[in-house]
C-alpha cells in the first residue's frame, strides 16, 4: 500500500487506496487536491457521487472515501476494508434512527 507523507502529497492518486477511477470520482464531487479531503464526511461524499452520476455505487466506496479522509486527517495509511465494519455500523444506526 502507498504510504505518502500527508503533508507533501499533491495528487489524489498518490493517496492510499486511491487509483485513477477513485480519483475521477473525487474530482467529480469537487475534491481536486488531497487537502480538500480534510473535514469531509465520507457518507455525504458518497451520496453526492450517486446523485451526480445518477446511479447507486457500491457502498464500499464509502470505505475508500473514509480511508482517504482518515489518511489526510491523521497521516495513518489503512486499507480501505479497515473501515467496512465502521461503515456498516453507521449505516445500521442511520436505518434505525
CATH code: domain of residue 83: 1.10.150
Distance CA 45, CA 62 (A): 8
Phi, psi of 17 (to 5 degrees): 70, 5
Distance CA 79, CA 90 (A): 19
- Domain residues for the domain of 54 are 12-96
- 75-92 tens-digit pLDDT: 999 999 999 999 999 999
The pTM (predicted TM-score) of the whole model is 0.94
| Domain-embedded: residue 16 | yes
Residue 31 banded pLDDT, cuts 50, 70, 90? very high
Number of domains observed in the structure of the chain: 1
| Domain-embedded: residue 27 | yes
| Domain-embedded: residue 3 | no
Distance CA 23, CA 26 (A): 5
Amino acid at each position: 500500500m502507498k504510504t505518502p507523507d500527508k503533508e507533501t502529497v499533491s495528487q489524489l492518486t498518490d493517496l492510499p487506496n486511491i487509483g485513477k477511477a477513485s480519483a475521477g470520482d473525487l474530482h467529480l464531487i469537487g475534491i481536486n487536491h488531497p487537502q480538500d479531503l480534510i473535514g469531509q464526511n465520507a457518507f455525504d461524499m458518497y451520496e453526492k457521487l450517486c446523485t451526480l452520476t445518477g446511479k447507486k455505487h457500491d457502498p464500499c466506496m464509502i470505505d475508500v472515501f473514509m480511508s482517504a479522509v482518515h489518511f489526510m486527517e491523521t497521516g495513518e495509511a489503512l486499507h480501505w476494508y479497515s473501515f467496512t465494519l465502521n461503515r456498516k455500523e453507521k449505516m445500521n444506526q442511520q436505518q434505525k434512527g
